[in-house]
A and B are shown apart, each in its own frame.
Chain A
Amino acid sequence: MAYSEKVIDHYSNPRNVGSFAKETPGVGTGLVGAPECGDVMKLQIKVNVETGVIEDAKFKTFGCGSAIASSSLATEWLKGRTVDEAAKIKNTDIVNELKLPPVKIHCSVLAEDAIKAALQDYKEKWSRAEATAATDAS
């Protein structure tokens, strides 16, 4: 199974590897997968709480090249989107972009799960602040 050029690119030049400092405001973290399965993704978004726009994203992945590429691509796509737009990212978009073969589709599914988990975590930690900011702005 040869890898697509895009997968190789993301693997060799991964975008946005890392973690936000623990006290950074507006951060949502998704940690999905399991070591026994051979796939674990940690995806973080840093959201501007007032505008709801994802300003930055970071990832770390334990997994194969396709898993790394899927999560790297996810961080690229997340930057600049609003929290609502981010929720619309589908694993099939990732499959098409990276040309993942059928046996690697589950990597894209995990990336979609990671995005949703990060968004959920953000909402739970920061959505009251967001709601307050929204009412302040109005």
Chain B
Amino acid sequence: MALKFPIFMDSQSTTPVDPRVLEAMIPYFTEKFGHPASRNHPFGWEAEGALDTARQQVAALIGARDPKEVVFTSGGTESINLALKGAAEMYREKGTQIVTTAIEQRAGLDVCKRLERQGFEVTYVPVGPDGIVDVEALRAAITPKTILISVMFANNEIGSIQPMAEIGKLAKEKGIVFHTDATQAAGKIPVDVEAMGIDLLSATGHLLYAPKGVGALYVRRKNPRVRIAPMMDGGGHERGMRSGTVPVPLAVGFGQAAEIAREVMADESRRLAGLRDRLQDLILSKVDEAYLNGHPVKRLPHNLNISFAYVEGESVLMGLNKDVALSSGSACTSATLEPSYVISALGVDSELAHSSIRFGLHRFTTEEEIDYVGTHTVEVVHRLREMSPLYELAKEGVDLKSINWKAE
């Protein structure tokens, strides 16, 4: 089968809408366009029915007992905002301390920074060199004033999966609300809010082959009943937790995507892990001083993150970017010119943070694409190494750390 360019291998940033999802959505743009809160006519009843189905589909994906626990939002960022700000405000009388990790996504970290400015105390627990947080370190960070623990289920950059059930147990033991940013995990690996003791869960559509613009926040109703203060006022939609007209077609898409994900997850994750391992072997066998970032086993099946010593990430992407879409932890690729804080949190030298490349496989990735990307990545890295003064020095046996760099 001929390769189609450019090859997309950046699925941690977003995914294409599955054709089956698109098909499910279309009637809700044109014929079944009613407002789900219109209680008095068939257009409204039809829309409400569609939303109920979507809620059930999302609930089933994450093991929620009751579809009423699914609140639709505009996406992962909003869900995370609603969960953290909503819980903080609701439980403020009880305490003002929050425990989270250093490698949460920007939404989680920035909301925590805002909460700090509003008088909350936040502890950002560091992670180990494989990106996994030590449950005992979380326990040690808990104080009598802790009201919320927030840990990202699986990391977007390095794919490392956190010990969710253990953290849930800790949270239950201490009577603390437990939120997880599951935007990268939902639909890819088993997520079970009941078994794992999760109270709040953020998910987004566009990372599981549904459209951009829709997400969900799971809010536990039983054992215990968790409450959150809303951010959006105006009509009391989504049981008062999120006012605003739910984008029915997008929610229908999200539901459909969730159902598909649940059905194919076992086979798909097996297939993608096989392709990912193939890519990893191809690269690591042909390039020396290439290092895997994140846990080798407890990682998302479709994620690979490798640092190539002596070669900067953006220059690798540039060698591939007409043909292959990837991403990097290098400062040059970030809007803020800071290297990836996730890779840096692993204790890796910042030079290796600048040299990291992230590969995100997806439902439509083929073996031919894997071989192409692997082969060309190796070629580009070798070419850039010939151009690298650091590689030259290292090959001469110079210890790069011994040099007194004249930084600008």
Interface residues of A (CB under 8 A from B): 3, 8, 11, 14, 17, 19, 31-42, 60-68, 103, 106, 109-110, 113, 117
B225 interface residue per 8 A CB criterion? no
B104 located at the interface, meaning its Cβ lies under 8 Å from any Cβ of chain A in the complex? no
Distance between Cα atoms of A33 and B312 in the complex (Å): 13
From known contacts A11-B318, A37-B331, A68-B315, infer whether A62 and B407 are also in contact, taking CB-CB under 8 Å: no
Report which of B339, B351, B387 forms a contact with A17, defined as CB distance below 8 A.
Answer: B387
Min CB–CB distance A22 → chain B (angstroms): 10
Measured between C-beta atoms, what is the minimum distance from A63 to chain B in Å? 5
- Known interface pairs A35-B351, A63-B332. Does A40 touch B318 (Cβ–Cβ under 8 Å)? no
CA distance A14 to B386 in the complex (A): 12
What is the bound-complex CA distance between A71 and B314, given in angstroms?
16
A-B contact count (CB 8 A): 93
Given A34-B407, A37-B407, A106-B408, verify A62-B390 contact (CB < 8 Å). yes
Contact across chains for B354 and A40 when beta carbons are under 8 A apart: no
Contact B389 A41 (CB under 8 A): yes
A106 to B400, CA, bound (A): 23
Q: How far is the CA of A106 from the CA of B333 in the complex (A)?
A: 14
List 17 contacting pairs A-B, 8 Å CB cutoff, sorted by A: A17-B387, A34-B405, A35-B349, A35-B351, A35-B390, A36-B349, A42-B389, A42-B392, A60-B388, A62-B311, A62-B388, A63-B312, A64-B312, A64-B314, A67-B312, A106-B408, A109-B408
A59 to B329, CA, bound (A): 25
Question: Which residues of B are found within 8 Å of A113, using beta-carbon distances?
Answer: 406, 408
Q: Is the CB of A40 within 8 A of B389?
A: yes
| CB-based contact B408/A33 at 8 Å | yes
The answer to whether A110 and B312 have CB atoms under 8 Å apart is no
